[in-house]
Amino acid sequence: MKKILTLVILATIFLVGCGGNKEKTYVVGTNAEFPPFEYREGDKIIGFDIELIELLTKEAGIKYEVKDMSFDGLLPALQTKKIDLVVSGMTATEERKKSVNFTKSYYSTSQVIIVRENQNNIKSFDDLVGKKVGAMIGTTGDLIVSDIKDVNVKKYNASYAAILDLKADKIDAVVLDSEPAKNYVKQNKGIKVIEGVSVTEEYAIALRKEDKELLEKLNKAFETIKANGEYKKLYDKYFSK
Ligand code: ARG
């Protein structure tokens, strides 16, 4: 009898202990409409950012799960704690830095213009004046286009929808980050990329200002995967020609 009682007590201590130590699962928000950084293959979300967060969380010893949502919903979801991190090819802009923290930059890029192959009059943002231009809602590309005088901006949730409208003559151009743009041009006939039109942008992971410890952990993990060659391996997998 005494033995059984001891067992019951031990089991209870064990179970309570487990509950108390239950590891937090960090929810990583993304918008899987942005190949090769995050996109869907069947019902799986894959891409550079997804593999990057896998490496970083493993190194930092934290658990995570990915949540797909609209791009313009990511920062509000972060502020309201529906998600804990944003890994979504997000540019660390000065404006966004006012409300969230960013890790060290993990990728440098810029905005480009996509036009139909026979379009030779569009060489810079200035040439978009008076034109119908597509951009992804809430992105830096959207900001640039919406700033152009007399432009007719059409905002999309999914970049591929903008590409389809461009191909169908419904809009004159699309402003998008360089890598997804090149990706679409490779896979779609009749469109081309105009490069060298924007300043450099730095992608980084966004998190709440108060999550300082998490920021430290991720930055440290990033240093480690840069030093041990894992970051380079991932980079080459997606970006070496
Ligand atoms: N770099 C741009 C921005 O931060 C676009 C990012 C879009 N990312 C995405 N997963 N849809 O505004």
* Domain locations in the chain as residue ranges: 2-108+202-239, 111-194
- Does the C-beta of 111 come closer than 6 Å to ligand 1? no
State if residue 183 touches ligand 1 by the CB under 6 angstroms criterion.
no
Ligand 1 atom nearest to 49, measured from its CA: 10
Q: Do 2-108+202-239 and 111-194 show the same overall fold?
A: yes
177: Cβ below 6 Å to ligand 1?
yes
The phi-psi region of residue 24 (left if phi > 0; otherwise alpha if psi is between -120 and 50; otherwise beta) is beta
Are the C-beta atoms of residues 97 and 209 closer than 8 Å to each other? no
Distance CA 14, CA 35 (A): 45
pLDDT at 17 over 80: no
**Separation CA 21–CA 106 (nearest Å):** 32
- Report the nearest-CA residue for atom 5 of ligand 1: 139
- Residue 169's pLDDT band (cuts 50, 70, 90): very high
Testing ligand 1's pocket by substitution, the residue of 136, 143, 155, 159 carrying the most ligand atoms inside 8 A of its CB is 136
- One of 3.30.300.30, 3.40.50.2000, 3.40.190.10, 3.30.70.270 is the CATH number of 111-194, namely 3.40.190.10
Give residue 219 CA to ligand 1 midpoint distance, Å: 21
In angstroms, rounded to a whole number, what is the distance separating the alpha carbons of residues 31 and 140?
15
Reported as a single tens digit per residue, the pLDDT across 57-106 is 999 999 999 999 999 999 999 999 999 999 999 999 999 999 999 999 99
Mean pLDDT of the chain, nearest integer: 93
163, two tokens: 């590409």
Q: In this model, does residue 6 exceed pLDDT 80? A: no
C-alpha 207/C-alpha 196 separation (Å) is 30
CATH code: domain 2-108+202-239 is 3.40.190.10
Is beta strand 25-30 parallel, antiparallel or unpaired with respect to 38-41? unpaired
**What's the average model confidence in pLDDT over 6-35?**
74
pLDDT score, position 5 = 61
